[in-house]
Amino acid sequence: MRCPQCGNDLAVGAAFCSRCGARLYAPKPADVREYALAKLRPSAWQFAHAFMLGAIIIGGGSFIVYSNHDAWRPGFALVAFGIVVVTFAAIAVRAVSWSITSDRVIERRGYIASRRREMELADIRSVEVDRRILQRLLGTGNVTIASAASADYAIQLRDIYDPEAAAETIRKARLKRLA
């Protein structure tokens, strides 16, 4: 093996030239890839009122159809409207998601008009967990992640299951990222 700068004969596997000190090969950078730690969605309990309203409307429409055969059109219209309400509630549950990766927290909102917000783990100033009484009974809560870059920039994970575990996942990923 020869040195590319001075042409000196070198031992096999040498990292530096013994005559001029030139580096013989550049070390390869560590292959670091971002990986997913958790994917979170809001609890369906957040939309329970819409599911209940849809069920009541469907039940009322069904009652009208079966009890009064002459008024079947308004009954079917109520059933159809109830199905639309339940469908929109089911879509709304799936329209928001949060991903916690090894490098950042990503918020995605919407289906048709979508919005994506990201926060690097190194930019996180604080992680707060808030659980109201009803949320504690249902096992849900809110996690607010504040950015050190701006006082107004925060990502709020609303009505997620086990918010304490989500906050701990963010804390551990942040500490690992900063280490």
Residue corresponding to tokens 């849809």:
54
- Which residues lie below 8 Å from residue 39, measured CB to CB, with a gap of 6+? 97, 98, 99, 100
Give the pLDDT of residue 37: 92
Q: Is the pLDDT of residue 27 over 60?
A: no
Closest CA to 153 of 120, 113, 108: 120
Q: Is the pLDDT of residue 1 over 80?
A: no
Mean of the pLDDT values across residues 96-106? 92
Q: What is this structure's pTM?
A: 0.68
- Coil, strand, or helix at residue 124? strand
Mean of the pLDDT values across residues 39-64? 92
The letter for the amino acid at 46 is Q
Alpha helices per DSSP H over the chain: 48-67, 72-94, 133-138, 163-178
Give percent above pLDDT 70 in the chain: 95
- Which residues lie below 8 Å from residue 41, measured CB to CB, with a gap of 6+? 93, 94, 96, 97, 98, 160
